[in-house]
Structure 1
């Protein structure tokens, strides 16, 4: 079908992975990893790479861990990550953007770039991301540390890291300083709602993730291409140690990776002008981008209405049903986001279509904010191999705080807008739970995690006060309560909480 020449299409995708056991491992920087992926995306267009690079007018860059908060970049960094990459490619875009923290970012940016192309505000757009976690670990205790500091002149729209939209002084004081403990609260809240036991739920998580490892084992871009059985994933061993309850290591996103990904979008008229073959064109049929309520405000911390709306809205925009979808890649930093999205779709972990194309974040790799760029790249490649099929990408950010969806196909379609802003307002208007920040008295454990990554095994508690039902957070190193949390099941346990100058403390009552 003929389409409007301003219709946005994906025309090039690229990925790069450097494993520490690879011959000639270099320990590359974020800029170098993104450059390799961007070169691959330019080559993937089938057009003249240097000509396309010179035509890129807009670049969106994803933040790495080292620039995702107040922590220093120990090996140095570029002051303008997108322009450092573009300099190496021979491009000089009019506009470059550094996106805030959030794993939904790549998918959200596909929608933003598409809208800009339709409006005539952009014509050739690069979306890129990379994560040099392996490099940081490799050089941490070495004397021959490289210096990746770069100073590049030119415009940069830095949208800020935005990390404090997910966490604040109260949650940090009570131990929510990493993704495993944050998602541990969510998975245990979901377990509470379902009424499942600890081992029963761990088995369900392992059953959900084991098929993903099979995909990762065959993916040449995987950081850990090893197939894991359900038993391996659920059994705690020295290698598969507990990180934060309820997760042993094989259920946790693998962040010690060196990976990069890049996506190239154009208008149809630009693709024709640059000679991009039509069999490279992939269209965006559906998209959505929603924001969830703040973590402690949610009535059910084991659910995500925003993610459910996002799944449904993208399908509505595309005019498709779940049965029309040929491939899925559901964001899998931990089981919780996969459970939520798969339930919204009505598919299970043993669906013959599978729930990932990459192999999932614990096995393929979890390159920070840029993982979903890899998911989109894999989806684009699959859609080209099966013209007319539809591929679904679900991308999650924050503490299940933002959820973005994209649906892709070679089938031509003009750009369609979504009701994401309206639906986000609807989610924001849902009932909330009051929070008491300095609680005193008796209460019960609503959800929890245990931090095994601290010098002293510490329980992290979200509870409800008996007096008024308000929610509170507390930590505990009380032997009896921590033993219950780590070795049995504390959901619904009765506690006494007191407020101190350094946060709230809980003990059994």
Structure 2
């Protein structure tokens, strides 16, 4: 081995396990805790059952389809282990990558010898049971267990009132702002999204664990239809995360020395070269702009520097894919062309979105790809409203350097920030569109539009565009000209909410 580091301090991924549960009978569906156990045992089978019995670090990714008291302790008991580090994490799509990175650092420091990171959701079964008014024979739902704080909890009341405190309605604000910043017409931006998403669908079609195993043409993804309704402009159902899945995944890490002692073949071991993390302010309206994420840039620029400054050296990539704007921003920061293959897994629409734990499945898919011959892999996860970012470099070959303890690049992200405009809820005069979306009902009708405006004195505000204002809605949804930068008068409606119209 080229590395001179002691094998006891070299962390490796030695085992992976996944499960996709498609019960014929709703009552036979596996609960998240059972999915977790099966995924962990499969990771043990993929590495060494002997290692599974020696887990001393256990991280569970937060799940939302079912609530338990101390699920980490319950899983440890089912596995027959008593890990020193036993943790159930907060909400965040980046958290699997963070947990894998932190577990690797524990092993590198000698604080742990066998670590498992796992996550699961059973939202498909939960939803079907609710519709059928069926009580599931699962561990009793822990209604008194603390409910995790999600993105909406950090937003301004007016954002909740106008319906732009959910991921599906916030990410379109970045979509519109980035397209205008890059000089794209809305039609060009949508075409890019369709091509990119069709590549995720193609990968999902080849992934045996994917929930939707069918390739989609770009136009099928971007064109509204009865089965592909508009949800929040410009995103259709096939452009958003699909949480109605039953999926579980686990990643088992250990030291190179312990993997060798367990008799695991060298070609199965995957090395962790390093990573980076950073965050944006949790309130998206407290950010300086919406055409880039300074935290994402800092993380991905750091990753790029780790591999010699050229993102094209990665021959296996997973770019987080809750909504198209995220990988579109990421590929530009990494210097990747529009021909990028952005996934080894299939994406949160087609593979499925077991909410916070998608990237656990992506880690499993990346390990398979590297074992199959790829040389260098990038896992990039994201959480919140373009809020939390973590990336990790994996390889078939060991690094020449010890795993760095310097993970946060928050200082770099913060240094890039411009002035943040003050937010106001009372304004008049003209407002200039900074970004926007149009929210649709479940039947495909316009509910209302929402614009982020900059006032004449430089403040930021949110305003509604009523469904009956067809002229302004036509300006917002014009495919050949972005409304970003358009001026129009701000008024106050009878319910006290600001409204805006194009002139």
| TM-score normalised to structure 2 length | 0.89
Over the residues paired in the alignment, what is the CA RMSD in angstroms?
A: 2.7
Check the 8 A contact 2:105/2:403 in 1, yes or no.
no
**Aligned position for 1:70:** none
1:318 deviates by 4.7
2:86 is aligned with 1:99: no
Q: How far is the alpha carbon of 1:460 from its aligned partner?
A: 1.9
Select between 405-414 and 357-366 the one with higher mean Cα deviation: 405-414
SS of 1:446 mapped into structure 2:
strand
2:488, 2:500 within 8 Å by CA — same for their partners in 1?
no
1:409 equivalent to 2:398? Answer no
Partner residue, 2:372: 385
CA distance in 2, matches of 1:89, 1:504: 55
In structure 2, relative to structure 1, the CA distance for the partners of 1:478 and 1:325 (3 Å cut) is: closer
Counterpart for residue 116 of structure 2: 126
**Corresponding residue number in structure 1 for 2:273:** 285
Residue of structure 2 equivalent to 1:55: 54
Residue in structure 2 matched with residue 460 of structure 1 by the alignment: 450
Q: Which moved more, 1:237-246 or 1:200-209?
A: 200-209
Distance 1:28 1:86, change over 3 A: same
Residue 399 (structure 2) pairs with residue 399 (structure 1): no
Classify the secondary structure of the residue corresponding to 2:18: strand
Please point out which of 227, 237, 241 is paired with 1:249. Answer: 237
**Is 1:498 the counterpart of 2:487 in the alignment?**
no
Shift of 1:300: 2.8
Q: Are 2:490 and 2:498, in contact at CA under 8 Å, matched by a contact in 1?
A: no
Inter-CA distance 283–160: structure 2 relative to 1 (3 Å threshold): same
Q: Could you tell me which residue of structure 1 aligns to residue 293 of structure 2?
A: 304
Q: Do structure 1's residue 473 and structure 2's residue 462 form an aligned pair?
A: yes
Alignment map for 1:202-213 (pairs within 5 Å) = 202-213=190-201
- Please list, as runs of the form range in 1=range in 2, the aligned pairs for 1:293-442 lying within 5 A after superposition: 293=281, 294-319=283-308, 321-351=310-340, 354-386=341-373, 389-413=375-399, 414-417=401-404, 419-421=406-408, 423-429=409-415, 430-442=417-429
Distance verdict in 2 for CA 1:266–1:160, change over 3 Å? farther
Q: Could you say which residue in structure 2 is the equivalent of 1:81?
A: 71
| DSSP-derived class of the 2:425 partner | coil
Tell me which residue corresponds to 1:228: 216
Distance 1:349 1:364 in 2: 22
Distance in 2 between residues matched to 1:494 and 1:27, nearest whole Å: 53
Partner Cα distance (2:494, 2:102) in 1: 45
Partner of 2:126: 136
Verify the 8 A CA contact 2:121 2:248 in the aligned structure 1. yes
Q: Output aligned runs, 1:237-276, within 5 Å.
A: 237-276=225-264
Show structure 1 runs of 5+ residues with no match.
Answer: 67-72
User: 1:134 offset after TM fit, Å?
Assistant: 0.6
1:65 alignment partner, SS class? coil
Question: How far did 1:27 drift?
Answer: 2.6
Mind listing any 5+ residue stretches in structure 2 that lack a counterpart?
none
The DSSP-based 3-state class of the residue aligned with 1:224 is coil
Superposition deviation, residue 95 in structure 1: 2.7
What is the TM-score normalised by the length of structure 1? 0.88
Q: Which shows bigger deviation, 121-130 or 452-461?
A: 452-461
* Contact residue 56 and residue 83 of structure 2 kept, 8 A: yes
Q: Provide the C-alpha distance between the structure 1 equivalents of 2:113 and 2:335, rounded to a whole number of angstroms.
A: 37
Equivalent of 1:112 in 102, 105, 110? 102
Return the offset for 1:428: 2.2
1:340-397 deviation line (CA, Å, top 9, x unaligned): 111112213423xx2100111111111111111111111111112227x111111111
Return the alpha-carbon distance in structure 1 between the equivalents of residues 127 and 489 of structure 2: 40
Greater displacement, 193-202 / 336-345: 193-202
Structure 2: how far apart are the matches of 1:28 and 1:198?
Answer: 43
1:97-137: CA deviation from partner (whole Å, max 9, x where unpaired):
11111111111112211222222222211101112111121
| Shift in CA distance, 116/495, structure 1 to aligned 2, threshold 3 Å | farther
After TM superposition, give the deviation of residue 212 of structure 1 in Å. 1.7
**Matching residue within 42, 45, 63 for 2:44:** 42
Query: By how many angstroms is 1:483 displaced?
Result: 3.0
How far has the Cα of 1:485 moved from its partner?
Answer: 5.9
1:14 aligns with 2:8: no
**Counterparts in 2 of 1:19-34, with a 5 A limit?**
19=22, 26-34=28-36
Cα distance in structure 2, aligned partners of 1:125 and 1:432: 42
- Worse-superposed segment, 404-413 or 169-178: 169-178
For the 8 Å contact 2:322–2:348, the answer to whether it is kept is yes
Q: Is the 8 A contact 1:173 1:503 kept in 2?
A: no
Question: What do the CA deviations read for 1:23-52 (whole angstroms, capped 9, x no partner)?
Answer: 89833211122222112111111x2x1x32
The 8 Å contact of residues 125 and 265 in structure 1, kept in 2 or not, is answered as yes
